[in-house]
Amino acid sequence: MEIRIAENCGFCYGVKRAVNMAQDTSNHLDHSYTLGPIIHNPQVVANLENHGVYAVDSLDEIPKGTVIIRSHGVGPAIYEEATDKGLHVVDATCPHVKKAQQDAKSVIDSGMSLVILGEKKHPEVISINLWAQNKGIVIESEEEAKILPFVENRGVVVQTTFSQFKFQSIIDILEKKTQNLKVFKTICTATQERQNSAVDLAKTVDLMIVVGGKNSGNTNRLAEVCRDVGCTTYHIETAAELELAWFNQVNTVGVTAGASTPDWIIKEVIDTMNEFEELLAKEADWAEDFKK
């Protein structure tokens, strides 16, 4: 059985940076907390907890110490509140998200209308809009774009993980509904690169294993795109979920992982698959011997 790994997979730049910052904080400071889980990966969150970095839902739960802002970012009020409480702030907001926040702010500061392309309930989109005094209109479909009114000046900021294709078709609609349209294409290529690599690989293998948190949007999307090209696909969080039967009669297996999946989990999955391969080879030998 041949195991092939997607060219682009696993931690993206912003997630790697955020996890490193959280680990670094745990090495040097006591009483450290992340506002929400640092990434959508339960194993990484549990690992940080073992090193004294706890995920909390609000600043009210932090009596003292350090608050780590995760890669999705937060609104300006959180920085003020944390400073007022005397907390030390470690800002792990991904620089790409920070740029989107600042662009949204500049659109509102210059008196233009703001449209944010993204998922309304996603923490990143919420944080971008908070930097724009919550004045942005969040849309995620062509249908929603079509019902927006005509305005003279409009700025557009985009959720970093938004689809490139959808982005273009929505912009085409907004161009007809705006006299001066200023587009900040704040899409990060990491997600698209991972999806492209997953699709390329899924087309060439018998089976795909997608590794990452079940609560991770980008990992779920990777599994979706692999299934869309007709490849049998299993989405697992850890090696413990792998089943020997999946690999019976399989010649090539592809492996990919979401942007929030650490290397050590990917390695455990590959090691387990190699063990399965040995077991299956032994079973095949026994079957041959039995025939004789």
CB nearer to ligand F3S: give 191 or 197: 191
The Cα–Cα gap between 221 and 186 comes to: 20
- 127 known member of a binding site: no
Which residues in the 134-173 window bind ligand F3S by CB under 6 A?
Answer: 160-161
* 216 marked ligand binding residue: yes
Q: Which position among 8, 9, 14, 261 is part of the footprint of ligand F3S (CB under 6 A)?
A: 14
Nearer to ligand F3S, 12 or 222 (CB): 12
Burial of 196 (0-12, 13-18, 19+ CB in 10 A): middle
Q: Does 96 bind ligand F3S (CB under 6 A)?
A: yes
254 binds ligand F3S (CB under 6 A): no
CB 72 within 8 A of CB 66: no
Angle at 140 between CA 136 and CA 141, to 5 degrees: 125
The answer to whether 218 is annotated as binding is yes
- At closest approach, how far in Å is the CB of 207 from ligand F3S? 26
Residue 161 labelled as part of a binding site: no
- Which one among 6, 8, 9, 15 touches ligand F3S, defined by CB under 6 A? 15
SS3 134: coil
User: Does 260 appear as a known binding residue?
Assistant: yes
- When the beta carbons of 41 and 160 are compared against ligand F3S, the nearer one is 160
Query: Could you give the C-alpha distances from 195 to 16, 21, 44, 63, 136, in angstroms and in order?
Result: 18, 26, 22, 41, 29
CA separation for the pair 68, 65 (Å, rounded): 10
Query: Which contiguous run of DSSP H or E holds residue 101?
Result: helix 95-109
Contacting ligand F3S within 172-191 (CB under 6 A): 188, 190-191
CB of 8 to ligand F3S, least distance (A): 11
**187's tokens:** 């899409």
Spatial distance between the Cα atoms of 82 and 274, rounded to a whole number of angstroms = 48
Which of 2, 49, 81, 124 is catalytic? The answer is: 124
Judged by beta carbon, residue 96 or residue 105, the one nearer ligand F3S is 96
Q: How far apart are CA 103 and CA 157, in angstroms?
A: 7
Annotated binding residue at 160? Answer: yes
Tell me, yes or no, if 237 is annotated catalytic.
no
Q: Where are the alpha helices (DSSP H) in 119-183?
A: 123-131, 142-146, 164-176
- Cβ partners under 8 Å of residue 7, min gap 6: 197, 200, 201
Task: Give the residues across from 182 on adjacent strands.
Answer: 155
Tokens of 49: 């907890």
CA–CA separation, 220 vs 214, rounded Å? 7
Binders of ligand F3S among residues 30 to 89 (CB under 6 A) are 71
- Window of 51-59, 91-99, 139-147, 148-156 that interacts with ligand F3S by CB under 6 A: 91-99
Residue placing its CB nearer to ligand F3S in the complex, 162 or 276: 162
Pairwise CA distance, residues 98 & 92, whole Å: 10
Q: Could you tell me the smallest distance in angstroms from the CB atom of residue 69 to ligand F3S?
A: 12
Residues of the binding site for dimethylallyl diphosphate: 40, 72, 122, 216, 218, 260
- Which are the catalytic amino acids? 124
Residues of this chain that interact with ligand F3S (CB under 6 A) are 12-15, 71, 94, 96-97, 160-161, 188, 190-191, 259
Residues of the binding site: 12, 40, 72, 94, 122, 160, 188, 216, 218, 260
Residues of the binding site for [4Fe-4S] cluster: 12, 94, 188
